[in-house]
Structure 1
Amino acid sequence: MIQLSNISKRFETPGKVVEAVKHVTLSIDKGDIFGIMGFSGAGKSTLVRCINLLETPTEGTVTVDGVELTGLSEKELRQARKNIGMIFQHFNLMPSRTVFENIAYPLKGRPKEEIEKKITSLLELVGLSDKRDVFPSQLSGGQKQRVAIARALATDPQVLLCDEATSALDPQTTTAILKLLKQVNRELGVTIVIITHEMAVIKEICNRAAVMEHGEVIEQGDVYSLFATPQSPVTQGFINTSSLAQKVEELDREGSPVVALKPGEQILQLTYLGMGASQALISEVSRKFSINCNIVFGSIEIIQESPLGRLIIIASGREGDIAQAIAYLRQQKVEVEVLKQCQK
């Protein structure tokens, strides 16, 4: 559905050149919910604006639904953009127009009966049938974003671009908006591209994702693999902002007794992939190798309908026994990382 080939975007000011995007190549399939994540300044918002040519790439080509946008005239581009909806962090609604009029804006020139039918169905889809005649100032943030989504869908686009669309919303409202986007993807078959720095958004809704740093895509793949086995240090750091290992580091810096070790003890992080998350391996290795395992933290998340489990444990016993237990866990497809150890 979307092919970005060697995309670069440079901004030039007197005496300064900023390379916001550098040689990015991405392929996004029809029906994907594709996330682009990165810290502030990574270039992700510039990249998504290159998809509909709100920013014209300095180099490279953009192809959407078989049409190379970078080769079109201004008139042809305006027509092609009707196939690409876009929503933003701050909604961009027109305050002097009602909900109905905001959604109808992209449909100017069409028959009134057609507009009425289309907007009625969109209001029902986004759950705002009772708000058609109110103004944006009378709506909550979540309701405003629902109006923005309905407006973006008014021209029946094949692609929906979401630029930090949930960043201004509280967690409960964010969950509701993500549920709506899933529904749009499932029922209308719209390919969705989400720009975000929120890990929860990527985990909740995306099936594939890319990680950006300094204008470059440094890692991409299916979301489960990115979270379970991140390859690049940047991806690892991004995920670790909310990880159990990060909590251990913070507690260790604070001198917390929770992670204080006695001689011979080790703090291990265990990562269970797939159905291994449901196996009772801790009790098994405790018996098999005569070690004690104290669980400090634990979590199981469902990502792309597969469980991803992590445990932080303090293992105590003879060093050789702990080493054998670690080797055994790895044979069982459990990833083991030694976070801290206290020598005898």
Structure 2
Amino acid sequence: MSSQLVKMSKEMFEKRKSDPTLRERMRAAAKGQSPRFLLISSMDHSQQDLQLLSLEQGDAFHATRVPRKPLMSASQSPFLFGGPAAYSSHFADRTGVIVTFEAAESDGVIQASLKAVSSHPDLKGVPLVALRADYEAGTARLVPHGLGRSYEVENLLMSRVRRPLPNDETTLVVICSDSRVEPPPTPRGVPMAIQCLGGYIPRFSGDADETSVLNEFFATWLSMPLKERHLIIVAHGDFEGEGQSCGAGMASIHPNEVHSAILKHVIGRIDEDARRFENRPPSTPEERVQSIARATQANLMTYPAIQSVLGSRASLESLIETVLMDTVTNRMQELQTS
């Protein structure tokens, strides 16, 4: 699958080059990022949400929620939610926090999730937009709440709703929260995605935290009657020489310079795990993100649900693959194993 995605990313780049608006987006991405939104999506609708709301490169920084589970607090979910939300506080043009839910999700899941968002110290005062989405129909409706709304922002987003491409349940991508990167569509639609700082997934802890609900998701996904499954780890950076590196990757090289308590914990763990795959300090952020990708692959293998596939597969290499993505062009290349 990784070779297919690499090919499709190059085709997508050629289409983007021919579109003046998207060319301008890439020029802006080469200078940095200043996303207007923090988008908190369920893993199975992360990429669909961008299309649903007509969001383009640079528009939304990402955090992740496990499907049909309430968003955990920042302390229980530092890697999927707490860290990305804290990182987003650095952006000057924040317009709102968007949280999406399937149309059939319970009120309990929605209310608990909105409480987690409103309790995050770095999201205080930022308008919160909650949406119930019907992805097949391409519709959405607002969820009323009393946690800080902006009718102007809500109206803007509702005016942009459109039908996204189908969801490809066979492919799960682990990729950075960065607003400038997104995996290309697969031959079946858009992939599911876990979007987190540096594309880093922590080891399974065995505690009642985000790794526990992640393991539940993996167990469900791996037991689905699918003919194939692909888990793609995407490490992004300046791999074409004229763009931007991964911010989390850069921060993890100098973790002592991070002052936010939530971010310091996340970035420190990323640094600690990445160093296990380095013989010397990385000379560039691009070297570091490749170590982060290797750490993430090793960490994924600590999840009981993923370990269980060892009994039915000769090697996990057929399940987990790693690719590199340029931050600006989003063109991908396969990670060399040597």
Is the structural similarity TM-score above 0.5? no
Using CA pairs under 8 Å that are at least 6 residues apart, name the structure with larger relative contact order, 1 or 2.
Answer: 2
Task: Calculate the TM-score normalised by the size of structure 1.
Answer: 0.24
TM-score between the two structures when normalised by the length of structure 2: 0.24
Q: Kindly name which structure, 1 or 2, has the bigger radius of gyration based on alpha carbons.
A: 1
